[in-house]
Amino acid sequence: MLMGNVSYQEAVSSVDLPITDPIHQPCPDMEGLKDFDPEKTERACFLISKLREKHGIKKRVKPTPNPLNYTCTERGCIEPWGTVSNATDEIN
């Protein structure tokens, strides 16, 4: 496949694009992030963890990923447990 007539352009971040609609402007309540204080954030995280502990709220445990390994052939894909999906019956 020839790709000689393709012209590429430099990528532009959406942050640098002009705001054309007022709905896309930053919200006034985002002003709190202007003077970010790591100590206050650390204290807030500590207090939240104490409240979680006090009220018995546990953090959600992410499930361990269970990757699916398929082996695909001309007749279909063999699933990890042995069945063949997408199998086509060849009647010749």
pLDDT tens for 17-47 read 787 877 777 777 776 667 778 899 899 999 9
pLDDT band at 10 (very low <50, low <70, confident <90, very high): confident
Q: Which tokens belong to 35?
A: 């003077």
Distance of CA 82 to the CA centre of its chain: 31
pLDDT band at 90 (very low <50, low <70, confident <90, very high): low
- Dihedral, CA atoms, 80, 82, 88, 92, nearest 10 degrees? 140
The Cβ-side half-sphere exposure at 3, using a 13 Å CA radius, reads 2
Specify the DSSP class assigned to residue 17.
S
Q: Global pTM?
A: 0.36
Secondary structure class of 51 (helix, strand, coil)? helix
Specify the DSSP class assigned to residue 74.
S
Q: Which residues pair with 85 in a beta bridge?
A: 77
